Chains A and B, each alone.
Chain A
Amino acid sequence: MEERALVDRAKAGDRIAMSHLYEAHSRRVYAVVRRLAGDDDLAADLSQDAWVRAFERIHLYRGDAAFGTWIHRLATNVALNRLRRRTKRPDVERSAVGMRSYEKPSDEAVISRRMLTEAMDRMPNGYRRVLVLHDVEGWTHEEIGESLGIAPGTSKSQLHKARARMRELIAPTSVASEAGNSLQ
């Protein structure tokens, strides 16, 4: 059945249609909230919350964009809003204690998905949000600034710091990470 028809049936309260929509898009939705959350338990809550909201408010979806785009954006907003409210939580880098270990890559080694995920999980929330939105989700600095309430320039500088930290977390022994002063 076409997705448009599934959406129409879901708007009418059809649970089967909802489950088909969920099945088609759940992995993409979970991926973005998991990466933003940096934590399995929080990600499970956020993803669940996003889907419940989506189906409760599916009448707001008018079909101007693909359903997958709509639910992805909604889930991202849900995650960002919830993470913004968790301001009491200290925004610090997490310790590697208790994490699964991974091999540090040689120059030619393939950077694995798990390696990236574990490094992102360790980063401070602010760095992780900008890195995920820009380098994984492909948002512009203007879009990030608008969504997070920061200036595009701030987003840009946060991104460079985040990438640098990410690079160090993945390969702490790299030569440039040990370099001292920059030229500028």
Chain B
Amino acid sequence: MSETKSEHLTLEMISALLEEPEEHAESAAHLAACEVCSLEHSRMRRMLMALSGLGEMQPPADEWERIEAKLPRERGVLPFRRIGLFTGWPVQAAAAMLVFAGGIAAGLVLTGGPSGDATQVAGNETLQYVGEAVASGPETASPFLSGQYYEAVAELESLRARPAGSGDLIEDPTAATARLARLDALILASREALASSPTDPAINNLLFELIEERDDMASGLEGAVRLAGLEYR
């Protein structure tokens, strides 16, 4: 076979032949007859072997010190308490409502009950917004995963659509605390789902997103507490 440029396989095709030679019979036949492409094929294979053999890497020397400095100082300290929430009077009142709303929200999530408009908007667009990683859904079929997973994703989207901030807490503490309660309930349900499917990437991602959202909201509320303290002094 001649070896003019136009007859050689592209690198992409050589890669495809390494994965699925049976899918590309014509190119595979060319590869068997062409020395140039054969050589490139073996080079590509060697590169892949080198990639698969890449080992561990040394982290920065002071990494552990940095990690340790960020860890909670007390055993079992929750993020809310660590950042000083539930200390001012506006938040103490809100916290009481949080417990109440949390109970209701947890009940709704865990029993699969109605959860408002958010449960009805679990379309592709919503899922995409919440996170591509969770859009394709869980890989197993526990009751939570088959039913409430998409509701939980839609709930998260709905909660994110109303940004947390000081205005919420000052003007509508009930809504703000209900949102926190809802997030806590979703986190609880996700954790229980993980008990039966601990390595499911979709549930893991959903849980991370929920926790991040709750932490963000907690930070927003912390700002609200400070603002309220200044206003009512």
Contacts and interface: CB of A to CB of B under 8 A. Distances in A.
A77 B208 contact: yes
A114 B100 CA distance: 57
A48 B62 CA distance: 10
A39 interface: no
A92 interface: no
Contact of A77 (B13, B64, B68, B205): B205
Interface string A146-184: 111110000010011101101110110011111111111
Interface string B186-197: 000001001100
Interface residues of A, number: 75
B11 A27 contact: no
Contacts, number: 203
Q: Do most interface residues of chain B lie in helix, strand or loop, or is the interface mixed?
A: helix
Given A56-B71, A159-B15, A182 B10 contact: yes
Contact of B59 (A30, A53, A65): A30
Contact of B70 (A48, A64, A166, A180): A48
A81 B208 contact: yes
A122 B37 CA distance: 25
A133 to B, nearest CB: 11
Contacts of B75: 12-13
Contact of B211 (A31, A57, A136): A57
A84 interface: yes
Q: Interface centre among A15, A53, A175, by most B CB within 10 Å?
A: A175
B10 A48 contact: no
Contacts of B139: 146
B11 A146 contact: no
Contacts of B198: 62, 64-65, 70
A15 B51 CA distance: 35
Q: Interface centre among B12, B56, B136, by most A CB within 10 Å?
A: B12
Interface string B49-62: 01110111111100
Contacts of A15: 68, 71
B2 to A, nearest CB: 13
A183 B13 contact: yes
Interface of B: 5-16, 19, 24, 26-27, 30, 36-37, 39-40, 43-44, 46-48, 50-52, 54-60, 63-64, 66-68, 70-72, 74-76, 79, 128, 131-136, 139, 191, 194-195, 198-199, 201-202, 204-205, 207-209, 211
